[in-house]
Structure 1
Amino acid sequence: MKLRRQLLLVSLVALALPWAGCQYLRQVDAALAQGQMQALEATASAVAARLASAPQLIAPDPERHGRPPGAQLYVNSLPNAPLLDGYGDDWRPLQIPARELLDSSGEAMAQITLGRYTDRVYLLLTVADNTPAYQDPRTGLLAGGDAIELYTADRHYTLPVASQGAAQAHWYNPRRGSYERELRLRGRWTSSARGYQLELTLPYALTGGSLAVSIADRATSNGAPPQRSASTLPADGLPGKLVQPLPQLQAELDQFARPQLRLAVVDSEGFLLASSGQLARADETKPSQSWLRSWIYRRLLARESLPEMPEAQLPEKMTLNRTSAQQWFRGPRESRIGAVSVPVITRADDIVERPLLARVVALQSGEALQSLTESAAHRLWLISCAAAGAALLLLLGYASWLSWRIRRLHRAARNAVDASGKLRGNFPRSRLGDELGALNRAFASLLAELDQYHHYLRTLASKLSHELRTPLAVVRSSLDNLSASDLDDDGRRYAERAMDGSARLSGILNSLSAASNLEASIHQAETEQFDLADLLAVLVQSYGDAHREHRFALQKPAGELPCCGAPELLAQLLDKLVDNACSFAPPGSEIRLTAERAKDGYLLSVENDGPPLPEGYNHKLFDSLVSVRDDGCRAGHLGLGLHIARLIADFHRGRLTAANRQGGGGVIFTLQLPL
């Protein structure tokens, strides 16, 4: 993996900034929520203290608190009078919670809802009965089948169940000793697949402030005992009180009203006695923000799963205990609603277990705090993203700069040696004090030392030639004097061998001196315009006369080949290549010279049959004192011919290469010669 990608992956650590900010915001949000809950509890406690000092506001009827639990029925305030058609369509939009009536086995048998509009009480009763037994007039019984019984403060009404039609209520008149129909009680029956339903109304004064409902379920209409029954009538036979909102308590509660705060007072059974204020809606505090963004922030900052807030009633766990309680609930669109419940306990006496009069429930939306937290989260995300983006760009720029320096060092190291193996000596030096700068300077120092060593090797031949001539002359003169004296056969044979060796050594020194002089003369040669095709034709003809044991062939384009260079040096280059080819080509084989036009110059090649180049010698052939001949250097081959050819190619800004021919069996030397 490249350095830029590695640093790019490392820069992803900057994404931890938004995560850490999110965790911090969660802690801040928890602290703000705790503060809001404490303030809400203080408000509820203040209201509870005020109501505890005035218990008559909660319990204007002292007798009611002496009734058994479950005997009371709650009467809701209705905005208008429902239409008495038996279907209950006018009750559904009000979303009034119904009370379940259980039979003796604990199964739900019916649901009852009570409401009051002006001076009348309205009742909606839904009974689940798979086998309803309707009133049969032929039996002569008042209620031989299923029946509904109503108990008020001073009367007992019986309503026989009918499949459809108007409801008839009968009560027993002790003065007359007979049952009479109560015309002030009006209602209608409807049947359904699950049972039947009753919708009726009666004056509030007729109830006397008390009401109980009893349901009798019979299998037949012959007056048999009920199979099931459900009732709100206590065991003492006295109906429970009708519980409804208290105006004086409502007026007292309105004094504690505040915006976006709902206060409610419920009695010991959870019936609502007074309510003040409304909760802020989820979209009122942030009209200009997108609900989708708010929803995302709420999901990100959510600490735990909250229970859902009931829509039409208070939370049940906040109304059925004696201790203070607090709880967060989930409102619409993932909003939060804080709820606090504080008991109202009388201070009238010093008894150990003081009676619980009511509970004060305070509800407040957490939209204000959530808006503050979401605004902070929005700014945090923007700042974090900007910081992460800046860090990413900075690291990417730094990685690009490091990558550029490394690529520059790589190119310099790769180009420090040319194709022929010669050091160029232009390695750049960095002035920076970091590790890459130190590595760059170390490479430059190493290549400078190598260049000095190569310069020493290049001048070693001339130095050896100069230093060895004097002792060689002494040796040769001594051998000449020795050969002129009288020697035996063995001595003369050894003297002749010494003379041959000195002659070979003298030839080697002469070749070294000639190579050094030729290398110096190459850089002083002058260039001119000439016809390369004419030069090749003359050279091939002379090669054929000089090397009759080989056949020579020339392949070139028709016409002139204009070229700029030193023709004498190019002829010497081709002489070296042809001499090398003749040394390795079998007798009678063909040596081919080829000239081709290239895009920016010419391609000259010399190819011959014979053994291929050893592996790894493609570039070493052109170094000084390198030879692959296997004659033990008896012929005096020092490996200077191809080295001189490469020097001539460099003088013409060309490139000389060697390679094995395709298919094996020969070598081809190619010179790329620019125009």
Structure 2
Amino acid sequence: MKLRRQLLLVSLVALALPWAGCQYLRQVDQALAEGQLQALDATASAVAARLASAPQLIAPDPERHGRPPGAQLYLNPLPQAPLLDGYGDDWRPLELPARELLDQRGEALAQVTLGQVAGRVYLLLTVADSTPAYQDPRTGLLAGGDAIELHTADRHYTLPVASQGAAQAHWYNLHRGTHERELRLRGRWTSSARGYQLELSLPYPLTGGSLAVTVADRASSDGAKPLRSASTLPADGLPGKLVQPLPQLQAELDHFARPQLRLAVVDSEGFVLASSGQVERAEEDLQRPSWLRNWIYRRLLARESLPEMPAAQLPATLTQNRTSAEQWFRGPLEGRIGAVSVPVITRADDIIERPLLGRVVALQSAEALQSLTESAAHQLWLISCAAAGAALLLLLGYASWLSWRIRRLHRAARNAVDASGKLRGNFPRSRFGDELGALNRAFAGLLAELDQYHHYLRTLASKLSHELRTPLAVVRSSLDNLSVSDLDTDSRRYAERALDGSARLSGILNSLSAASNLEASIQQAETEMFDLADLLDVLVQSYGDAQRGHRFALDKPAGELPCRGAPELLAQLLDKLVDNACSFAPQDSEIKLSVAREKDAYRIEVENDGPLLPEGYSHKLFDSLVSVRDDGGRAGHLGLGLHIARLIADFHRGHLTAANRQDGAGVIFTLQLPYRAAVGPL
């Protein structure tokens, strides 16, 4: 992985700043939420204390507290009178809680909902009965099949079930001893796939403040005993009280009203006796232009999953037992609603077990606190993103600068040595005082020392040849004088052998001196424009005359091949390559020379049959004093020919390589010789 990518990954640590900020804001939000619940609890406790001091406000009917639980029915305030058509379409939008009626096996047999408008009581009864037994007039029975019974304070009404049509209510008149129809009770039946439904209306004074509902399910219309029944009538046979909101309690509760605060007073069974204020403002929140941003912030800052606030009723968990309770609920747009419930217990000292009169439930939206937290979160995100972006740009810029310095050092180290192994001497030195600058200077110092050592090796040949000439001349003159003396056969043989060795040593010194002089003379050579094709024609003819033991072939394109360079040096380069090919090629084999045009250079090749190059010698062949000839050095080959050829190629800005042929039958030398870039002074 590159350095810039590594630093880019390291810069991602800056993203921990928003995360840490979110954790801090969550702690702050939790502290503010706890404070809000404490304030809400104080408000609910104040209302509960006021109601405990005036129990007549919450319990104006003392007899009601003596009735068994589940006997009472609640009258929901209705905005308008529903249409009595039996379908109940006007009730569904209100989403009023229904009272379930359970049969003897604990299964739900029916649901009943009651409401009140302008002194009239409205009832919606839905019965789940897959096999209803409707009233059969032929039996002469008042309720031979399924029936609904209404128990008021002083009357018992029976309503035989019909599949469709108006409902008829009958009651037994003790004075006359007959069943009479109650015309003030109006309703209508409808049937459904699950059973039947009754929508009914009666004046409130007709109930006497009490009402009980009984559902009787029979298998047939013969008046037999009901198979199932469900009722709100207690065991003592007295109907429960009708519970409805209390105006005086509502007026008292309005004194504690505040914006975004809902206060509700419920009785011991959870029926709402008074309610003031509103909590939810979903439509206003949706109209805000920043609702989506607030929703996202609330999701990010949410501590835990909260239960959803019921839409049309108070939470059931807050209207149970005799202890205070508090809980958070989820409102619209991931908002939070705090709920606190405080019991109202009478303060009468002469009562041993103080009864639970009801509960005060306080609901308040955390919109203000959440808006404050979201505003802080918004500022935090902006600042954190700006800081993370600045850190990212800074680290990216620093990584780019550092990567540029490393790439510059890499290029300098890669180009410090040319193809011939010479140091170019232009290695840059860094002025920075950091570790990378110290590394750069260490490389520069190391290359300077290597350059001095390389210069010593380059001049070693000329120094040796100069220093050895005088002692060699003394040895040779002594051997010459010794050879003209009278010597026996063995001594003369040893003298001649020493004379041959001195001659070979003199040749070696001459070759070293010539190589050193040639390297210096190459740099002083003059260039000119010439025809490369004509030069190759002349050279191939000369090679054919000089090397009778080999055949030479030339492959070149038609026409002239203009080139700028030193023709005598190029001829010397080709002489070295051809001489090397003749040394290894078998007798009477063909040595092929070819030239071809490429994009910006000529490709000149010399290939011959013979042994392949040893592994790893394709680059070493062109170094000084390197030879792969297996003659024990008797031929005096010092490995300078190909070295000189490479020096000439470098002078022409060319590239000389050696490789084995693809067919594995020989070796091929390739010279890439520029002709466009070479036009002009080299």
The normalised TM-score by structure 2 is: 0.90
Gaps of 5+ in 2: 676-682
Residue 286 of structure 1 deviates from its aligned partner by: 6.0
CA displacement at 1:186 relative to structure 2: 2.9
> Which is further off, 404-413 or 256-265?
404-413
SS at match of 2:612: coil
Q: Given the superposition, is the C-alpha separation of residues 546 and 308 from structure 1 closer, same or farther in structure 2, using an over 3 Å criterion?
A: closer
- In the TM superposition, what whole-angstrom CA distance separates every residue of 1:398-419 from its partner, at most 9, and x where no partner exists? 3333333333333223222222
- Paired residues for 1:81-230 under 5 Å: 81-230=81-230
Separation in 2, partners of 1:519, 1:666: 30
Q: Please tell me whether residue 20 in structure 1 is matched to residue 20 in structure 2.
A: yes
Q: Please state if 1:582 is matched with 2:547.
A: no
Q: Which residue of 1 aligns with 2:614?
A: 614
Structure 2 Cα separation of the partners of residues 164 and 536 of structure 1: 120
Say if 1:58 and 1:506 are closer, same or farther in 2 by CA, change over 3 A: same
1:135 Cα shift? 4.2
* Counterpart residue number, 1:54: 54
The alpha carbon displacement at 1:333 in A equals 4.1
Q: Secondary structure at the match of 2:568?
A: helix
Alignment of 1:245-260 (within 5 A): 245-260=245-260
Alpha carbons 1:420, 1:619 under 8 Å: kept: no
Judge conservation of contact 1:282–1:367 (CA < 8 Å) in 2.
no
- C-alpha distance in 1 between matches for 2:412 and 2:259: 76
The reply to whether residue 649 of structure 1 matches residue 649 of structure 2 is yes
Deviation at 1:454, TM superposition (A): 1.7
- The answer to whether the Cα contact below 8 Å between 2:654 and 2:674 also exists between their aligned partners in 1 is yes
Change (3 A) 1:56 1:653: same
**Once the 2 structures are TM-superposed, how far is the Cα of residue 285 of structure 1 from its aligned partner?**
4.0
Cα distance change on mapping 1:607 and 1:76 into 2, 3 Å:
closer
Distance 1:140 1:534 in 2: 139
Give the corresponding residue for 1:471.
Answer: 471
Structure 2: which amino acid aligns with 1:275? S
Q: Secondary structure at the match of 1:633?
A: coil
* Letter of the 2:152 counterpart: T
Matching residue of 1:268: 268
Mark the CA change 1:656 to 1:252 in structure 2 (over 3 Å): closer, same or farther. Answer: same
Against the structure 1 CA distance between its residues 241 and 454, is the aligned structure 2 distance closer, same or farther, given a 3 Å change threshold? Answer: same
Partner of 1:300: 300
Equivalent in the alignment of 1:323: 323
Determine helix, strand or coil for the equivalent of 1:55. coil
Q: 1:495 to 1:41 in 2, by over 3 A?
A: same
The verdict on how the C-alpha distance between 1:340 and 1:571 changes in structure 2, with shifts beyond 3 A counting, is same
Question: 1:383, CA displacement in angstroms?
Answer: 3.9
* Aligned partner of residue 514 in structure 1, secondary structure: helix
Q: Distance in 2 between matches of 1:164 and 1:574?
A: 120
How far 1:92 sits from its partner (Å)? 2.4
Q: Contact conserved, 1:285 with 1:368, CA < 8 A, in 2?
A: no
Q: Which secondary structure does the structure 2 equivalent of 1:125 belong to?
A: strand
Q: Are the structure 2 counterparts of residues 511 and 43 from structure 1 closer, same or farther at C-alpha, using a change threshold of 3 Å? A: same
* CA deviation after TM superposition for structure 1 residue 58, in Å: 1.0
Q: Residue 633 of structure 1 corresponds to which residue in structure 2?
A: 633
SS of aligned partner of 1:43: helix
The AA in structure 1 aligned to 2:490 is: D
Structure 1 663/222 Cα, relative in aligned 2: closer, same or farther at 3 Å? closer
TM normalised by structure 1 equals: 0.91
Once the 2 structures are TM-superposed, how far is the Cα of residue 616 of structure 1 from its aligned partner?
Answer: 2.3
CA distance in 2, matches of 1:530, 1:173: 143
Cα 1:353–1:426, aligned 2, differ >3 Å: closer, same or farther? same
Alpha-carbon distance in structure 1 between the residues aligned to 2:278 and 2:660: 97
Q: Unpaired runs of 5+ in structure 1?
A: none
SS of 1:475's equivalent in the other structure is helix
CA distance, structure 2, for counterparts of residue 167 and residue 563 of structure 1 = 120
Q: Say if 1:282 and 1:335, in contact at 8 Å, map to a contact too.
A: no
- 1:293 CA displacement: 4.4
SS for the counterpart of 1:56 is coil
- How many residues align? The count is 675
Deviation (angstroms), 1:320: 2.2
Contact 1:285 1:371 in 2 (8 A): no
TM superposition shift of 1:61: 1.9
| Partner residue in 2 for 1:309 | 309
Matches for 1:596-615 after TM superposition, within 5 Å = 596-615=596-615
The 1-side partners of 2:206 and 2:611 are apart by 132
Aligned partner of 1:660 in structure 2 is 660
Cα RMSD (Å): 2.9
For 1:565, the equivalent position in structure 2 comes to 565
Corresponding residue of 2:520: 520
* Counterpart contact for 2:285–2:291, Cα < 8 Å: no
Q: Structure 1 residues 522 and 115 mapped into 2: Cα distance closer, same or farther (>3 Å)? A: closer
Q: 1:423 to 1:179 in 2, by over 3 A?
A: same
How far is 1:319 from its partner?
Answer: 1.3
Letter of the 2:311 counterpart = E
Looking at structure 2, the residues matched to 167 and 538 of structure 1 have their Cα atoms a distance apart, in angstroms, of 131
Deviations 1:66-123 (A, max 9, x none): 2222222222222222333333333223222221222333332322222222222222
> Which amino acid letter does the alignment assign opposite residue 120 of structure 2?
R
Q: CA deviation at 1:295?
A: 4.1
User: 1:474 Cα shift?
Assistant: 2.3
* Residue type of the alignment partner of 2:66: G
Q: Map 1:543-558 onto structure 2 (within 5 A).
A: 543-558=543-558
Change (3 A) 1:158 1:523: closer
**CA contact 1:257–1:276 (8 Å) conserved in 2:** yes
Q: Tell which deviates more after alignment, 562-571 or 55-64.
A: 562-571
Q: Give 1:362 shift.
A: 0.9
Q: Deviations over 1:550-607 (max 9, x none)?
A: 3444444455544433333333333333333333333333334444444445444433
Contact 2:622–2:642 under 8 Å retained in 1: yes
What's the secondary structure of 2:214's corresponding residue? strand
Query: Residue 503 of structure 1 aligns with which residue?
Result: 503
Matching residue's letter, 1:97: P
Give the whole-Å Cα distance in 1 for the aligned partners of 2:533 and 2:110: 120
SS at match of 2:474: helix
Residues 215 and 477 of structure 1: is their aligned pair in 2 closer, same or farther, counting only changes over 3 Å? closer
Distance across 2 between alignment mates of 1:310 and 1:323: 21
The 3 A distance-change label for structure 1 pair 671 and 66 is closer
Question: Residues 312-342 of structure 1, C-alpha deviation per residue, up to 9 Å, x if partnerless?
Answer: 2111121122111112223344333221111
Q: Distance in 1 between matches of 2:569 and 2:240?
A: 132
Written as runs of structure 1 = structure 2, the 5 A alignment for 1:333-348 is 333-348=333-348
Amino acid at match of 2:85: D
Rounded Cα–Cα distance in structure 2 between residues aligned with 1:540 and 1:224: 134
The letter for the 2-side match of 1:201 is: S
Q: Distance in 1 between matches of 2:517 and 2:381?
A: 77
Q: CA offset at residue 468 of structure 1?
A: 1.2
Name the structure 1 match of 2:487.
487
- Mapped to 2, the partners of 1:612 and 1:49 lie a distance apart of 111
Q: Which stretch of structure 1 is more off in the superposition, 510-519 or 480-489?
A: 480-489
Secondary structure of the 2:342 match is strand
Q: Which residue is equivalent to 2:679?
A: none
Q: Is 1:65 aligned with 2:65?
A: yes
Deviates more, 1:56-65 or 1:290-299: 290-299
Cα shift at 1:647: 2.5
Residue 417 of structure 1 aligns to a residue whose secondary structure is coil
